Amino acid sequence: MNIKQKSIKELEVLCQEIREEILRVVSKNGGHLSSTLGATEIIVAMHKVFDSKKDPFIFDVSHQSYAHKLLTDRWEEFDTLRQFGGTCGYTKPSESEHDYFVAGHSSTSISLGVGAAKAIALKGEQNSRIPVIMIGDGSMTAGMVYEAMNELGDRKYPMIIILNDNEMSIAKPIGALSRMLSSAMASPFYQKFKKHTENFVDNFGEGAHYIAKRMEESLKLITPGMLFEEMGINYIGPVDGHNLTQLIDIMQTARKLNQPVIIHAQTLKGKGYDIAEGKEEKWHGVGPFNLSNGHSSKKSSTKSATQIYTEALMHLAKNDEKIVGATAAMPSGTGLSELMEAYPTRFWDVAIAEQHAVTSMSALAKEGFKPFCTIYSTFLQRGYDQIIHDTCLMDLPVVFALDRAGIVGEDGETHQGVFDISFLRAIPNMTLFAPRDEKSFHQALGFAAEYQHPCSLRYPRGSFTETDLPESVAFELAKSQLLRSNEGNILFIGYGNGVGRAYETAEILNVKVSILDLRFVKPLDTEMLRDMASKHKKWFVFSDSSKMGGVGSAILEFLAHEKILDVAVESFEYEDEFITHGNTKLVEESLGLLPAQLAKKVEALS
């Protein structure tokens, strides 16, 4: 869609049409809502001033990029947002040439911008291209942002960074005076005057330069831009993030500076949808809902794994004041919000800072507390060095509770929780285990609360696989549970949510199989596995995890170590590829992992 020639009034009408389309599709498909509604005018202004085919458009996390998708020839396809085989909920270069980079995790945008700016400089394209970044203030809580700005302020690469401040966390104390001063600072006159003044003062020596600098800084003390200016990055703002005229003028001014510039734009979350306006976490990411009243379209009577985690940890925390915990900007998503309300001095949201969450919890463990570090599987990847260096090297009893392990559905490649077993299993002192249902989850957390070494347990998004499983017994270190024992050659080994899938698959088969809930993938129940090897020669592994380095790998390593050569192992874990977005069942079907599909594979291999 070419908007270069459109008037402000036409662009304002376009913003309304974009919001209506976002609301229509997200209410049907689910997705990110409040932030992307609030970012509409910013994105329209970006496309008015810059060229997304030529200028790298980089969206942090990119959950706010829906308007960008609609403006870049995806209006017709937008109806398939987050659906299997449809438009991705995040930027994706394979989907469009207007999407510069894959994004789904927070706080990478400025680093990407610095890298793009270096490439542009090396190619000699600085007169025709400039990186344009949009980042939300939530993403500004992660250290990687400041690492990037530290270099940017030193190197002075031309770059436009638009800070979408949609919760007023930065600008709240500022007030009308600051907005007036910032508008003045954004004008071409001020920028030109500032440059001439600097040249003039340079002729009068260090003393005059010092006085002029202090006068400028005294003005900036009442603006939020002092930090950025001190880092060597020009600051403009705060500006009204819904005023197209102002946004376009300021972006044009910033581009002419040929320097790194931060434009601080204030927006209203949920802008254009009264029910969501101003709400923070509730309307950030939503499932399908009724557009007229905002009520959820999908209601499940089945308790989610996250709800079970909340209940179990709440019970433990009530009876043991040494239990503490942290999450990294996902209090509701990880089930920690209730504990933060009940025990505000013992449970913390540390913002988008997984590294800090891990290391700070390690120090609490050193001081005799029992920390539960509660993070999505996909986000724990960001704290890997800290797990090794600050937790496991010291052998500290931190519990890593990994929500959304396995396929997470519509969020796709960047969010699938498939790698945690593979990367945690390699770390000395780390213990890995997983519950299979509600009762075993309570028992697993009870074990974790008493365990005096680093450990990790994983659980799925949504509910556990619904099937009638045998009664769970208490967790003991490196002890599995044999759920079904039958004569014959076949053994199903389930881990975590894979136990339910193993049971469902067994019910379809015409042959009898034994079923083992592995429980611990590190350390393994070697005694039980030796016994199973003497009875069953064909083993099938069921786990929501990557095949490389996963549960099947652990079992094969055990068999090789024991020199057990007559057992064949087939793993139904995920292959060595990134897994697409879409409804979980459709994704699993595409991977051949539905019980009916697995039953056919077992029959063919038996």
Are the CB atoms for 274 and 25 separated by under 8 Å?
no
Q: Is 82 a catalytic residue?
A: no
Q: What is the pLDDT of residue 210?
A: 54
**Does the annotation list 127 as a binding residue?**
no
Q: 80-84, 147-151, 166-170, 359-363: lowest mean pLDDT where?
A: 166-170
**Does the annotation list 105 as a binding residue?**
yes
Q: How confident is the model at residue 227 (pLDDT cuts 50, 70, 90)?
A: confident
Instruction: List the structure tokens of 425.
Output: 């299993």
Per CATH, domain 481-605 is 3.40.50.920:
yes
**Does the annotation list 552 as a binding residue?**
no
**Does the annotation list 137 as a binding residue?**
yes
Query: For residues 599 and 586, what is the distance between their CA atoms, to the nearest angstrom?
Result: 17
Q: What is the pLDDT of residue 170?
A: 39
Q: Is 382 a catalytic residue?
A: yes
The helix (H) or strand (E) run that includes residue 307 is helix 305-319
Residues 582, 585, 588, 593: what is their CA dihedral angle, to the nearest 10 degrees? 180
The helix (H) or strand (E) run that includes residue 57 is strand 57-59
Q: Is the confidence at residue 173, as pLDDT, over 60?
A: no
Catalytic residue among 167, 354, 438, 573: 354
Query: For residues 183 and 176, what is the distance between their CA atoms, to the nearest angstrom?
Result: 11
Residues 273, 277, 279, 281: what is their CA dihedral angle, to the nearest 10 degrees? 50
Mean pLDDT, the chain, as a whole number? 91
Chain length of the chain: 606
**Does the annotation list 63 as a binding residue?**
yes
Looking from the CA of 422 toward its CB, the CA atoms found within 13 Å total 21
Pick the CATH number of 8-174+224-286 from 3.40.50.970, 3.30.1490.100, 3.40.50.300, 3.40.50.20: 3.40.50.970
**Does the annotation list 106 as a binding residue?**
yes
Instruction: List the structure tokens of 112.
Output: 């990407």
Q: Is the confidence at residue 215, as pLDDT, over 80?
A: no
**Does the annotation list 139 as a binding residue?**
yes
| Percent of the chain residues past pLDDT 90, beyond the cut | 79
Q: What is the pLDDT of residue 224?
A: 64
Q: How confident is the model at residue 209 (pLDDT cuts 50, 70, 90)?
A: low
Q: For strands 455-458 and 370-376, give the pairing.
A: unpaired
Q: What is the pLDDT of residues 496-546, one digit of tens each?
A: 999 999 999 999 998 999 999 999 999 999 999 999 999 999 999 999 999
Q: Do domains 8-174+224-286 and 305-458 have the same CATH topology?
A: yes
Q: What is the mean pLDDT of residues 427-431?
A: 98
Are the CB atoms for 466 and 442 separated by under 8 Å?
no
Q: What is the mean pLDDT of residues 62-89?
A: 95
Catalytic residue among 48, 74, 220, 269: 269
Q: What is the pLDDT of residue 194?
A: 57
Sheet holding 455-458, edge to edge: 347-349, 323-327, 370-376, 399-403, 455-458, 431-433, 520-522
Q: Is the confidence at residue 180, as pLDDT, over 50?
A: no
Query: For residues 12 and 333, what is the distance between their CA atoms, to the nearest angstrom?
Result: 35
What is the separation of C-alpha 263 from the centre of its chain, rounded to a whole number of angstroms?
A: 25
Q: What is the mean pLDDT of residues 349-367?
A: 96
Sheet holding 159-165, edge to edge: 57-59, 132-136, 159-165, 260-266, 234-240
Query: For residues 223 and 165, what is the distance between their CA atoms, to the nearest angstrom?
Result: 14
Q: Is the confidence at residue 113, as pLDDT, over 90?
A: yes
**Residue type at 60?**
D
3-state helix, strand, coil in the chain (%, to 5): 45, 15, 40
Verify cis geometry, omega within 30 degrees of 0, for the bond prior to 523. yes
Q: What is the pLDDT of residue 230?
A: 85
Q: In which residue are the tokens 């900007």 written?
A: 329
Strands annotated E in 214-258: 234-240
Q: Which residue has the higher pLDDT, 175 or 6?
A: 6
**Residue type at 377?**
S
C-alpha angle 115-116-117 in degrees, rounded to nearest 5: 90
Instruction: List the structure tokens of 555.
Output: 């079992």
CATH class of 305-458: alpha beta
Q: Is the confidence at residue 185, as pLDDT, over 90?
A: no
pTM equals 0.89
Q: What is the DSSP letter of 58?
A: E
**Does the annotation list 376 as a binding residue?**
no
Q: What is the pLDDT of residue 372?
A: 98
Catalytic residue among 19, 82, 271, 382: 382
Q: Is the confidence at residue 604, as pLDDT, over 90?
A: yes
Q: Which residue has the higher pLDDT, 136 or 495?
A: 495
Query: For residues 218 and 99, what is the distance between their CA atoms, to the nearest angstrom?
Result: 41
| Percent of the chain residues past pLDDT 70, beyond the cut | 89
What ranges do the domains of the chain cover?
8-174+224-286, 305-458, 481-605
Helix axes 305-319, 438-450, angle to 10 degrees: 40
Verify cis geometry, omega within 30 degrees of 0, for the bond prior to 238. yes
Facing residues of 266 across strands?
165, 240
Q: Is the confidence at residue 259, as pLDDT, over 90?
A: yes
**Does the annotation list 138 as a binding residue?**
yes
Q: What is the pLDDT of residue 297?
A: 79
Q: Is the confidence at residue 201, as pLDDT, over 90?
A: no
Q: 18-27, 320-329, 358-367, 463-472: lowest mean pLDDT where?
A: 463-472
Q: Is 600 a catalytic residue?
A: no
Query: For residues 248 and 245, what is the distance between their CA atoms, to the nearest angstrom?
Result: 5
